[in-house]
Structure 1
Amino acid sequence: MNQIPDENTIITYFRREDDLAYKAFTWIVDIHSKRLYTTIRRWVNNHEITNDILQEVFIKVWNHRTQFQGNSALFSWMYRIAYNETVHFLKKENKHKSFDIDEPTVSFSHQSEHYGKMNSEEITKLLFEAIETLPQKQRLVFEYKYFEDLKYEEISKLTGGSVGGLKANYFHAVGKIEDFLKQKLNH
């Protein structure tokens, strides 16, 4: 039975241009596919679409393997690719969707012109737009905390940041997202 080596060894093999790169890739898929699937599934809430996006993520991971700098954990890099692929998919989907009059809506402030008029997909799109406005560090911390429900200690291990700094980043990210949504929804 082949034992999976440590992450540093996998990364070293992964950057090569031989059969070891492919072997490292299979280890990466084995190690990270379930977690990435779960992450993407939270965003799109559809099994088939999640699998399609996950496949695209792993294609990008393979095709861009030499671009991984090692400044963060391998999963952090792949998470960012998964996030970008999901946002790209959702933007593309929203361009081709029609509004379903029977679809449930979510209400906002009764003073908002959007009161009772937005569906969950539109709200999700606005949330992703708000997240995109964040500085990279705040965005990453917010995604780990909000979507992955990771503890600050876990995020610290993934990013190398201090727990106090991560808490500050999350606090500022939430404030900026709230401000963005208030501006968009309650004008």
Structure 2
Amino acid sequence: MQSDDLVLLQQFREPATKEQAFTGILKKYQEKLYWHIRRLVVDHEDANDVLQNMFIKVWKGLENFREDSRLYTWLYRIATNESLSFIEQQKRKASVSLDEVGDVLSNKVKADTNFDANKLEWKLQLAIQQLPEKQRAVFNLRYYDEMPYEEMSRILDTSEGALKASYHHAAKKIEAFILEN
């Protein structure tokens, strides 16, 4: 574990420095986690809500963090689980099929004023939204965060081989989508 993370964890366990340490963790990881969540849930407001819920869970659970993994890995696991839970809740609320969820997320991408329909990045985002949630999480962690499979294995609680296969299938689906559209 990184020494600055160890210091933050030690400070968090002390009542006098608990809030300061949590603020340090927020500052260090908030932006990376926001973008990880945003790539999964697409919408800015939704990403902020998921991030906020995620940090509430971190605040409540950090004292019990056993340091079996890096703090970064633990945070990403919570962010991923919160994102996937949020998507499941959205599906239940809207009572839509898996295919329709991809359409809903694609429409959010299309409505985002930051995307230009003629740019490859926009097509990539549309393609990513067509993937099943877990495959999308694997693709995002590997492609955007350049996370090693070993680290992803700890976050997603899946074997490295399964993650490699999932990433490969996701990349093939994305490639096909971009070529067809």
Does TM-score exceed 0.5, indicating one fold? yes
Moved >3 Å (runs of 4+): 121-126, 140-143, 166-170, 172-178
Show the counterpart of 1:170: 163
Residue aligning to 2:19: 22
Which letter does structure 2 place at the counterpart of 1:171? K
Amino acid at match of 2:6: N
In the other structure, the counterpart of 1:150 is 146
Deviation at 1:68, TM superposition (A): 1.2
Is the counterpart of residue 118 in structure 1 residue 99 in structure 2? Answer: yes
Task: Quickly say closer, same or farther: Cα 1:71–1:173, change in 2 above 3 A.
Answer: farther
In the alignment, the residues of structure 1 paired with residue 80 and residue 62 of structure 2 have an alpha-carbon distance, to the nearest angstrom, of: 17
Does the aligned pair in 2 maintain the 1:40–1:54 contact within 8 Å?
yes
Provide the rounded CA distance (Å) in 2 between the counterparts of 1:67 and 1:121.
39
Quickly say closer, same or farther: Cα 1:168–1:6, change in 2 above 3 A: same
Q: Which has the higher helix share?
A: 2
Structure 2 distance, partners of 1:142, 1:68, is 27
* TM-score, length of structure 2 as denominator length: 0.62
Structure 1 residue 49: deviation in Å?
A: 0.8
Aligned partner (choices 42, 51, 55) of residue 54 of structure 1: 51
1:107-160 C-alpha deviation (Å, 9 max, x unpaired): xxxxxxx9xx933158969723x55xxxxxxxx9766315x44153xx66x58x
Supply the distance in 2 between the matched residues of 1:80 and 1:125 (Cα, whole angstroms): 22
Q: Choose which of 74, 81, 90 in structure 2 pairs with 1:84.
A: 81
Deviation at 1:20, TM superposition (A): 1.1
Residues 176 and 47 of structure 1: is their aligned pair in 2 closer, same or farther, counting only changes over 3 Å? closer
Conserved? CA contact 1:90–1:125, under 8 Å? no
5+ long unaligned stretches in structure 1: 100-113, 132-139, 179-187
* Structure 1 residue 98, shift from structure 2 partner: 5.5
| TM-score, reference length from structure 1 | 0.60
Please report how far the alpha carbon of residue 86 of structure 1 lies from its aligned counterpart in structure 2 after TM superposition: 0.9
Q: Which has the higher contact order (CA 8 A, sep 6+)?
A: 2
Code of the residue aligned with 2:11 in structure 1: it is Y
Tell me the CA shift for residue 80 of structure 1. 0.6
Give deviations 1:86-118, integer Å, cap 9, x for gaps. 11111111111166xxxxxxxxxxxxxx9xx93
Deviation at 1:51, TM superposition (A): 0.6
Partner SS, residue 69 of structure 2: coil
